[in-house]
Structure 1
């Protein structure tokens, strides 16, 4: 009788990684919509992935209620281990990326910061760090540093990272527009430019200036575009100190009033936990102003 190959029984299939990731994000963030934002998919796609996982394990991971979803007992039990596992995997991927390309750094920044604060500094940074390749991704929300392939973030925050400067706001405009403004009341006669996200800026500054007068004017979804419009004389923009500093230094913009409102946040640099690589340490020093960039 000849040799016979043993018949291997089929192995049970594990759950899809995408389903595990969708569940972990929804459970950690407290909802399908927030998970969808983080994963760059639709809430419906998150719901479908979670249903796939529930079908696989035979248990409900969320309780569906009129006001939304809440974790079930089973979901709450497995969340800490899943979160730790994804964090560990993110760390391993980061270590692999650093080992494979130690001179390559990935930076995530708020679009306005990327365009108006970071971009003008990049030529000097490249000259100071010729062996370091720096990529910049503009995004509206800070990434999850434990999971996503970024080495550094530049956003406005509570000051938990490396603080660059407080966020101060004040009106700025082209010199020819400033010539029309004698006091705050004159703002009623000019266009007051607003950013779609920072839509409370004018209200905040007017309160600091001691007036409840209203202002009106166009709204922009890109702050950098609003800055350019202000430079070209389109009206008065609520400037964020760090973002309009170079325009003020060049004289393209001026601040017609002395009042400044200090917001409860900082322009700050963020990085992963642990010791930074030598290229990242060098970049941090440059951006923190130690070289006078």
Structure 2
């Protein structure tokens, strides 16, 4: 009878994962962030893999690493292999969830940190009231997740037209404009008054002040880089609410504060960003069975509303 040949001996799966992530990201540091380990751990795993293979996979340069030709050729197959393995695990989980009726299975939502804190969090109570027994897990992420490696049932991010999947739901276009505490707003009668005000910045959207000043034609009269920067938009918003300065506000995030009077928009020029608050649904078989109902509920309950008496002729993000 035929004898099936043994499978070839493989190196450590963790070492292969570390190599695949570092090669794909072209950075040990970025690979470590993706895998949730330290850069030193990634370096050690790759060294072990290189020792097992008997040759280097990276050229160590002064400020970066560079793949060898052999490693570059092997990367696509390794990436497909890990994607296939991840999909198999998701399918296995999906089969168990189907047998159990999704009982105990949390619906997972990935969102930009500021969206998770300022847009999604205030709506969670209404969602859970509409779907009794539903467990919701929220992960704050700086970039939309790759469904092959970081499967989530729903993802909430700002996306431009070219980046939106065809089946994504647009919850509303976004616009930016300066906002601040009402007492401070009363001292700002023209855009030129911003030259003596403290400008507040979000680190990710640091360029928003320059973009808005160019939009209003005042880019040459006011330094758009002046003022403190915050790593979280919510921290910059707290500074604005306390009267510490003027924030370049994202309408989809700060509209409730304009409506209730905690913030004021001293100028009428809101600049459309071209981005939209977008809800992306996981289309894989392993996704939560209720994800479309949840997405529709979020869409139906979007209500940015009018901005109230503290905004002057500002664009309504819902319109």
User: What TM-score, normalized by structure 1, do the two folds share?
Assistant: 0.86
**Is 2:153–2:288's contact at 8 Å kept on the other side of the alignment?**
no
SS of 1:278 mapped into structure 2: coil
1:266 aligns with 276
- Quote the offset at 1:115 in angstroms: 0.7
1:134 aligns with 136
From 84, 104, 107, the counterpart of 1:105: 107
1:228 aligns with 238
Residue ranges of structure 1 left out of the alignment (5+ in a row): 1-10
- Report the Cα distance in structure 2 between the residues aligned to 1:137 and 1:184, rounded to whole angstroms: 38
- Quote the offset at 1:65 in angstroms: 4.3
Q: For the aligned residues, what is the CA RMSD? A: 2.4
1:211 has 2:224 as partner: no
From 156, 159, 164, the counterpart of 1:160: 164
**Is 1:18–1:49's contact at 8 Å kept on the other side of the alignment?**
yes
2:290 aligns with 279
Matches within 5 A, 1:16-95: 16-66=12-62, 68-95=64-91
- Report the Cα distance in structure 2 between the residues aligned to 1:229 and 1:99, rounded to whole angstroms: 48
SS of 1:115 mapped into structure 2: helix
User: What TM-score, normalized by structure 2, do the two folds share?
Assistant: 0.79
Which piece of structure 1 moves more, 161-170 or 200-209?
A: 161-170
2:145 aligns with 143
- Report the Cα distance in structure 1 between the residues aligned to 2:43 and 2:191, rounded to whole angstroms: 51
**Is 2:154–2:282's contact at 8 Å kept on the other side of the alignment?**
yes
- Report the Cα distance in structure 2 between the residues aligned to 1:21 and 1:35, rounded to whole angstroms: 9
Matches within 5 A, 1:114-129: 114-129=116-131
SS of 1:282 mapped into structure 2: helix
2:186 aligns with 179
Which piece of structure 1 moves more, 117-126 or 230-239?
A: 230-239
1:254 aligns with 264
Matches within 5 A, 1:5-24: 14-24=10-20
Note the alpha carbon deviations across 1:23-62, whole angstroms, 9 max, x for none: 1112222232322221233333222211211221223323
Q: 1:73 to 1:273 in 2, by over 3 A?
A: farther
Q: 1:78 to 1:111 in 2, by over 3 A?
A: same
SS of 1:107 mapped into structure 2: strand
1:198 has 2:205 as partner: yes
Note the alpha carbon deviations across 1:123-180, whole angstroms, 9 max, x for none: 1111112132101122333333211242222222334242333332110112222111
Q: 1:51 to 1:272 in 2, by over 3 A?
A: farther
**Is 1:193–1:238's contact at 8 Å kept on the other side of the alignment?**
yes
- Quote the offset at 1:79 in angstroms: 1.6
**Is 2:151–2:282's contact at 8 Å kept on the other side of the alignment?**
no
- Report the Cα distance in structure 2 between the residues aligned to 1:50 and 1:76, rounded to whole angstroms: 15
Aligned residues: 282
SS of 2:143 mapped into structure 1: coil
Q: 1:95 to 1:247 in 2, by over 3 A?
A: farther
- Report the Cα distance in structure 2 between the residues aligned to 1:116 and 1:60, rounded to whole angstroms: 47
